[in-house]
């Protein structure tokens, strides 16, 4: 039986990037896989490029009209025959040991349904991106950002079938929405990130995340609302506005900085009641986000705040100070 089905969509991606992406897959150290590539109605022709690899593991499908990434990935999932489904983007590069490392991790962690890994930026960036690697921290991190790098992901195929995991075709970013949906409505689904760099993530002007940045920020608000609703958290429009500024790492003035502590304390209190996240993990994630913004200069010092706000800050930092190594591990 085929162990891995690799799923990748192409839409008008530079031929050089596509060739590098495909090469990084067909030259994997672990070779028991099929590689499903869908051309999503591109204006460019990739047939000759695909044929040049002369690799029978490649299944190439071409759509006449552009349907979007989520549509193509869902079609690929439907025809996949495997134990694991691996994501790949047409402009990234998988390290040669990615599959062997991910299979080893998934085989030895049977409780994990969806796993990603650390990665290094290439192109515009050179940053090594380290993400939370345990389920209890990944889920509350979704309040603030996408903690699973989409092109690094491995799905357990049995979990995809069990929970009918499919990408939302009407929502961008489809991966962030999917992770949140899984965490909110299928609480038994567990996430992880393998703490090793297994992919090079290319940053360039033509990638979807750059083109659709404004859409990402807008739809991110809908994700926040879904989480707040699950926590039965009631906040007004002004509070929601402040939280979204904090989430987007925009600078907050003194009044807004005071307000965000009150909002974060509300989140902590609601979580203790409704138990969406492991309480200590949520507080560590929140403390971590506060530290990041202080370092970036996006949060004004709150020195003359009310006793209630001081209590909120102390509550957050009390638990955080017990776990300083977790907070400062990336700095």
Residues 6 or more apart in contact with residue 305 via CB below 8 angstroms: 258, 261, 313
Residue with tokens 């903690």: 147
Q: What is the pLDDT of residue 327?
A: 38
> Of the candidates 233, 252, 326, which has an alpha carbon nearest to the alpha carbon of residue 294?
252
Q: 2-30: string of b/e by CB count within 10 Å (b at 16+)?
A: ebbbbbbbbbebeeebbbbbbebbeebeb
Distance CA(154)–CA(199), nearest Å, equals 12
Q: What is the DSSP string of 265-329?
A: HHHHHHHHHH-SS-HHHHHHHHHHHHHHHHHTT-B----S--HHHHHHHHHHHHHHHTTHHHHST
DSSP conformation class of 150: G
Neighbours of 171 (CB within 10 A): 17
| C-alpha to C-alpha distance for 86 and 21, rounded to whole angstroms | 13
CATH code 3.40.50.170 for 4-211:
no
Q: Which residue numbers in the chain have pLDDT < 50? A: 302-305, 309-311, 314, 317-331
Please tell me the predicted confidence (pLDDT) of residue 214.
58
Taking alpha carbons only, the member of 207, 15, 196, 171 closest to residue 95 is 196
Burial class (CB in 10 A: 0-12, 13-18, 19+), 69: buried
Q: How far apart, in whole angstroms, are the C-alpha atoms of residue 331 and residue 327?
A: 9
Supply the pLDDT for residue 173.
86
Measure the CA–CA gap between 274 and 231, rounded to whole angstroms: 6
- Provide the pLDDT for residue 300: 59
Q: Which residues contact 277 (CB under 8 A, 6 or more apart)?
A: 136, 139, 140, 271
- Say which residue the tokens 């990336």 belong to: 330
Cβ atoms within 10 A of the Cβ of 111, count?
9
Dihedral angle at the C-alpha atoms of 137, 133, 121, 96, nearest 10 degrees? -160
The residue with tokens 């989430």 is 247
Q: What is the DSSP string of 211-273?
A: HTHHHHHHHHHHHHHHHHHHTT----HHHHHHHHHHHTT--B-HHHHHHHHHHHHHHHHHHHH
- Are 164 and 112 contacting, i.e. CB atoms less than 8 angstroms apart? no
CA torsion sign for 80, 82, 84, 89 is: negative
Query: The whole model's pTM is what?
Result: 0.87
Domain ranges of the chain: 4-211, 231-327
Radius of gyration of the chain (CA): 21
Q: What is the largest CA-CA distance in the chain?
A: 70
- List phi, psi (to 5°) of 242: -65, -45
């Amino acid at each position: 039986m085929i162990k891995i089905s690799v799923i990748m969509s192409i839409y008008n991606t530079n031929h050089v990037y596509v060739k590098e992406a495909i090469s990084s897959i067909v030259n994997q150290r672990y070779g028991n896989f099929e590689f499903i590539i869908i051309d999503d109605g591109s204006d460019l022709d990739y047939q000759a490029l695909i044929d040049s690899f002369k690799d029978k593991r490649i299944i190439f499908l071409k759509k006449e009209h552009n349907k979007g990434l989520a549509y193509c990935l869902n079609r690929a999932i439907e025809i996949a025959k495997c134990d694991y489904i691996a994501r790949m983007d047409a402009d990234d590069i998988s390290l040669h040991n990615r599959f062997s490392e991910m299979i080893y991790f998934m085989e030895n962690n049977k409780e994990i349904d969806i796993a990603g890994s650390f990665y290094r930026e290439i192109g515009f960036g050179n940053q090594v991106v380290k993400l939370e690697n345990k389920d209890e921290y990944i889920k509350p991190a979704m309040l603030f950002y996408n903690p699973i790098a989409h092109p690094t992901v491995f799905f357990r195929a049995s979990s995809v079938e069990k929970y009918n995991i499919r990408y939302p075709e009407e929502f961008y970013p489809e991966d962030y929405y999917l992770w949140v949906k899984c965490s909110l409505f299928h609480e038994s689904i567990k996430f992880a990130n393998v703490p090793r760099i297994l992919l090079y993530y290319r940053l360039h002007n033509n990638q979807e995340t750059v083109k659709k940045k404004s859409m990402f920020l807008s739809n991110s608000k809908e994700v926040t609302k879904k989480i707040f609703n699950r926590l039965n958290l009631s906040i007004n429009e002004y509070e929601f506005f402040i939280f979204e500024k904090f989430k987007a790492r925009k600078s907050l003035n003194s009044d807004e900085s005071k307000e965000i502590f009150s909002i974060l304390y509300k989140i902590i209190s609601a979580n203790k009641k409704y138990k969406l996240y492991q309480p200590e993990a949520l507080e560590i994630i929140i403390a971590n986000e506060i530290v990041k913004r202080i370092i970036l200069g996006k949060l004004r010092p709150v020195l003359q705040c009310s006793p209630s706000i001081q209590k909120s800050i102390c509550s957050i930092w009390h638990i955080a100070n017990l776990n300083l190594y977790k907070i400062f591990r990336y700095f």
